[in-house]
Chains A and B, each alone.
Chain A
């Protein structure tokens, strides 16, 4: 599966590439702005998902926004950078044991080896 590698603070995550509709740079998008917990792009409002808060990461100075489309809804996810798109065999992604989460809803579904350290794969079904 093709994964988009992103950074959020010091954390490094991956997002399934086929759910990423756009990568928006606010500095280059005149039709983009934030209103509280929503992002507004070309007049359409999207819920804003803040992975910085989830991971207790400091917010970067120049965030990018991923427009993700899941089965139920679309949302904007703020990240600090995009690194690459990489093909990772599905068999190389180990599922996270559900019992490590206190609640059923979760932001991450699996982990895979990415050089020196493991990298988490975002669970778009869990956050969208």
Chain B
């Protein structure tokens, strides 16, 4: 459940209206050039260079468990027009989600997933939904970042230095 006045970042992905707590979102940027990384998870669309950091970009449309039904077909190809990166800080890790129609959202009210369930029109798996909020009477699923990022393989948010201990290495082999 979210408290009153809790700001969210909403976005559209695969036909679903979703949102993340503003606290985990670092910034929203226009989609930069990506390079696909062979051998990475199929739902990693690629990597962007962002402020000198390799930023993994996740396409939730390609992440099967995210959807309660069949995965949505990409709208307008893999790089939909108007697509943005929602850059998130998660512990020591930084990652981005692809999304369209990104907006700041102060919900009108909540509709707990446990009571009404994710809206029938919403195809996002219940597992990743912590709440359903309303915007102009339209449902927006509030994603649970703990569950979502863990399922994407992103290390859990932990104390500073956790990623270094986890073995992030030096590309120059130093």
Contacts and interface: CB of A to CB of B under 8 A. Distances in A.
Q: Are A and B co-members of a single complex? A: yes
Interface of A: 1, 11, 16, 51, 54-56, 90-103, 106-113, 116-121, 125
Given A111-B47, A118-B47, A95 B33 contact: no
Nearest to B50: A94
Contacts of B70: none
Nearest to A106: B39
Contacts of A117: 33-35
Contacts, number: 97
A97 to B, nearest CB: 6
A107 B172 contact: no
A116 B36 contact: no
Given A11-B38, A94-B52, A111-B47, 12 more contacts: A90-B171, A90-B172, A93-B171, A94-B49, A100-B47, A100-B56, A100-B153, A103-B39, A107-B38, A112-B49, A117-B35, A118-B35
Interface of B: 33-41, 44, 47-49, 52-54, 56, 93, 95, 153-155, 166-174
Contacts of A56: 38
